[in-house]
Amino acid sequence: MSANITPSQSRPPHGEDGPGLSAHVGTVEEPAGQNRRSEPHYHTQRESVLVIDFGSQYSRLIARRVREANVYCELIEHTAEWDEVRHLNPKGVILSGGPASVYETGAPLAPSWVFDRDLPVLGICYGMQALVHQLGGQVEPSGKREFGHAILQQRGSDHPIFEGLSQSFPVWMSHGDRIVEQPSGFAAVAHTENSPIAATSNERNVIGIQFHPEVVHTPDGTRILENFVHSICGCGRNWNPSNFIEDAVDDIRSQVGDGKVICALSGGVDSAVAACLIHRAVGDQLTCIFVNNGFMRLEEPERIIDTFRRNMNVNIVHVDASDEFVDALSEVIDPEDKRRTVGEQFIKVFDREAARLGQVDFLAQGTLYPDVIESQTPGDNVSAKIKSHHNVGGLPEEMKLELVEPLRYLFKDEVRMVGLELGLAEEMVYRQPFPGPGLAIRVMGAVTREKLDTLRAADWIVMDEIKANGLYRDLWQSFAVLTDTMSVGVVGDFRAYGYVVAVRAVTSEEAMTADWARLPHDVLGRISSRIVNEVPSVSRVVYDITSKPPGTIEWE
């Protein structure tokens, strides 16, 4: 393993098992834009609540909370015009928090349509200050910054935003500015010790709250957001997997018409759910290409083929290119060179197979909403750009494929729910992330068939024990690594000289940070004794107790 890898620069940001091709191409950044992304959106929206993103670290969380209340929600930029969002059928708007101060020049403000259209508005923290400022009130720096827990006291009769809550309850604050004068028609509906106007509202359901209902430190926050979207905006509980599937199928049909679609299956949940949805929409017009790169785990290629070809009757081209990949890596030692080689090899094989299919019009990808949000840069048209590593720029330009991305408005947990609703096996839906270059970056140093087989056998045992002990879903990832260290052991009366296998198990939210899992000692003991007994070329097992940072999840 080279010591000077900087993960943030050299690796994909998420570690998901990847939207289609990106999972395989790893870090190969291809020129973007050869294949076309088409708007409009995939969901024939019934109704929605929009979050205007003023740049808070919690904006995305607000969108998730609203969706958890079964109301569709998108993050939009503060520069978005009404014409860009009207197709989402907004029933209300939430103004997020943000780092700016409204009295600074250039501070972001809500577009005028937010107030002109008479929609209910909920301003959160900076969002509250923005609406107060825009509607004629006054905001000033507060002498005392309020950060952390506070007790909110309702004033007077219950406001519908606080329906079902006690007269006072704990909230989470994080602000330096405060309201000193409310716009005309507004009245304070709650205060805290440091904020005389901690919540304000007018008769037309324009509401500001100084605290953050979206974070867990505001225990009743979910109820407050539910009150807003259900009671105040009047949204029904329409956002659920079966409605999504119905809408997505309609949208895919209208986009694809009688065109032909190809989709690269990686074995991960995103490409599987995307393929499944597209298959439901256009059946045999979809062909999936599954490239076995030789770096998958034991029985994995067979399971993928079984799921799609046998159980779901999807057209699959199964390419066993393992020899090509393993040969291409025979002299490669540097982890980043391995990734690059696997990526280039994948594109070569995929191009070759796609060309054999004749005329193809669409390329399916399992791009998710966080990728879409992250690729937005200020001033961009909403949902206009995807990071270049999510583009399949490696495909020949003359293919001119239009992208079909049915998951591009879903969060990961929503993809899983849709997968289950579509009937995909739990095993596939809850699969732990697996890197595109697969076992190639878990065999330290040069990759050989023998080492891959040894690692596969050891990895199988890790997985078997983790699953048998009910730990699989609690762990972000759990796997074996074949180190390039040899060690002495004793087997019966003989001296053995074999590989050292490292076991890695981590807990994590999004792979940006991770902690080594405190696995029960008896589980570790069983994993170790099974590996040294059942895998002849391994003489020793060690457990990796490095967290990230400073370590990375993968060893290479």
* Active site (catalytic) residues: 125, 212, 214
Chain centre distance of CA 278: 20
What the block records as the tokens of 377 is 């840069």
Q: How many helices and strands in the chain, by DSSP H and E?
A: 17, 19
Please list, residue by residue across 244-277, b when 16 or more beta carbons sit within 10 angstroms of its beta carbon and e when fewer do. bbebbbebbeebbeeebbbbbbbbbbbbbbbbbb
Query: Which helix or strand (DSSP H or E) is residue 538 part of?
Result: strand 538-543
Q: Where are the beta strands (DSSP E) in 387-530?
A: 402-404, 477-491, 494-507, 515-516
- In 3D space, the residue among 139, 128, 146 whose CA is nearest the CA of residue 54 turns out to be 128
Distance CA 261, CA 247 (A): 19
CA angle 199–205–211, rounded 5-degree value: 25
- In 3D space, the residue among 547, 544, 554 whose CA is nearest the CA of residue 500 turns out to be 544
Helix axis angle, 412-421 to 241-256, nearest 10°: 90
Which phi and psi angles does 276 have, rounded to 5°?
-60, -45
Nearer to ligand XMP, 12 or 221 (CB): 12
List contacts with ligand XMP (CB under 6 A). Answer: 7, 11-12, 15, 18, 23, 26-27, 339, 433, 435-437, 477, 511, 548, 552-554
Distance CA 443, CA 499 (A): 11
What 3 state SS string does 107-173 have? CCCCCCHHHHCCCCEEEECHHHHHHHHHCCCEEEEEEEEEEEEEEEEECCCCCHHHCCCCCEEEEEE
Chain centre distance of CA 384: 18
Residue nearest to ligand XMP (CB): 15
> What is the torsional sign of CA 378, 380, 386, 388?
negative
| Residue recorded with tokens 């959160």 | 124
Are 401 and 36 in contact by the 8 Å Cβ rule? The answer is yes
216 burial (CB, 10 Å; 0-12 / 13-18 / 19+) is exposed
| Residue recorded with tokens 């053995």 | 496
Distance CA 24, CA 134 (A): 48
Are 517 and 487 in contact by the 8 Å Cβ rule? The answer is no
Q: How far is CA 478 from CA 464, 507, 512, 522, in A?
A: 11, 9, 16, 16
Chain centre distance of CA 410: 8
